[in-house]
Structure 1
């Protein structure tokens, strides 16, 4: 069975979070180290996704 990359449903998860340091594909974490609710990302990460340069 071939392996494939996981599907990312939130486009902002493509970039690294400048606030909490979550890597691309991982959910953001709050100040206590708990994951944010499913599908939620920091505003800084959403802005970084909007402002990124496309190739």
Structure 2
């Protein structure tokens, strides 16, 4: 069986989240440790992704 990299559907998941410190590819988590609903990411992470592309 061949190894396949996971598909990232949300582009902001390509950067580390500065708020919850989730690694690239992992979902964001709430302070209580549960995953954010519906594949959402923290605004800080989305901003970090936008700023990365603008640079």
Q: Name the TM-score, length of structure 2 as normaliser.
A: 0.90
User: For residue 22 of structure 1, what is the aligned residue in structure 2?
Assistant: 22
Q: CA deviation at 1:31?
A: 1.1
Structure 2: unaligned runs, 5 residues or longer:
none
Q: Name the TM-score, length of structure 1 as normaliser.
A: 0.90
Structure 1: unaligned runs, 5 residues or longer:
none
Report the RMSD for the aligned CA atoms in angstroms. 1.3
Matched residue pairs, number? 54
User: For residue 31 of structure 1, what is the aligned residue in structure 2?
Assistant: 31
Structure 1 segments, 4+ long, off by >6 Å, are none
